[in-house]
């Protein structure tokens, strides 16, 4: 295990915050936001090229897997999963009436009015929900956004559940051949079936011994 580097000369608190976020693996622009600065004006690139900032990034990384660093990493993972699990893209949408062209089976066209969500993508971009939008599809002729995908909310919930130890195995008691309880952790249906087969086989063997194998 490598020893921690000597702490560099002190720098401005926002640049130090940026260095800490970068040491945890946070991308430049997001680290800039977390440090309270606007990445749109090029400050992230400026900080990333600064030798003093790089020295602090190296210093934080040299601390290794301390409790403080691990806690910080867990917090970032928890935050990211929470946004994916609970973020609602429709917070930035309004239902508007549009004219939609419907193609009939006979090839004819008909224009009908229908309501559809109109999403304020500028608001999404500047919100914490921006990272969970994982894919876009645009119309090749008009350039209009026709489809987007977001991170799987249920998968994120499952990961949060596991991180916080909320997935407790249920238990049941089965009676053994001598009437004593046999405790089984019900992890999967296969495990449950295997346990039942073991009990049945044990009962069968016990019965065979009592009857002399008949």
CA distance linking residue 100 with residue 153, whole number of Å: 30
CA 94 to chain CA mean position, Å: 26
pLDDT digits (tens, 9 = 90+) for 130-181: 999 989 898 888 888 888 899 999 999 999 999 998 876 555 555 555 555 5
pLDDT digits (tens, 9 = 90+) for 11-61: 999 999 999 999 999 999 999 999 999 999 999 999 999 999 999 999 999
pLDDT at 115: 84
Domain regions of the chain by residue span = 13-63, 170-210
CA distance linking residue 189 with residue 78, whole number of Å: 30
CA distance linking residue 61 with residue 69, whole number of Å: 9
């Amino acid at each position: 295990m490598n020893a921690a580097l000597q702490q560099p000369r002190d720098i401005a608190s926002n640049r130090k915050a940026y260095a800490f976020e970068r040491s945890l693996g946070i991308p430049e622009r997001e680290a800039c936001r977390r440090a309270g600065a606007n990445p749109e004006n090029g400050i992230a690139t400026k900080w990333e090229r600064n030798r003093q900032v790089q020295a602090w990034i190296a210093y934080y990384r040299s601390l290794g897997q301390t409790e403080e660093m691990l806690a910080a990493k867990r917090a970032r993972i928890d935050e990211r999963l929470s946004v994916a699990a609970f973020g609602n893209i429709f917070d930035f949408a309004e239902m508007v009436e549009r004219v939609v062209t419907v193609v009939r089976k006979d090839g004819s066209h008909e224009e009908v009015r229908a309501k559809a969500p109109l999403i304020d993508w500028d608001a999404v971009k500047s919100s914490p929900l921006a990272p969970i939008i994982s894919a876009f599809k645009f119309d090749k002729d008009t350039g209009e956004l026709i489809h987007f995908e977001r991170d799987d909310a249920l998968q994120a919930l499952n990961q949060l559940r596991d991180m916080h130890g909320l997935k407790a195995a249920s238990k049941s008691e089965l009676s053994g051949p001598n009437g004593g309880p046999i405790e089984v952790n019900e992890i999967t249906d296969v495990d449950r079936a295997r346990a039942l087969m073991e009990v049945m086989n044990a009962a069968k063997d016990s019965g065979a011994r009592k009857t002399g194998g008949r």
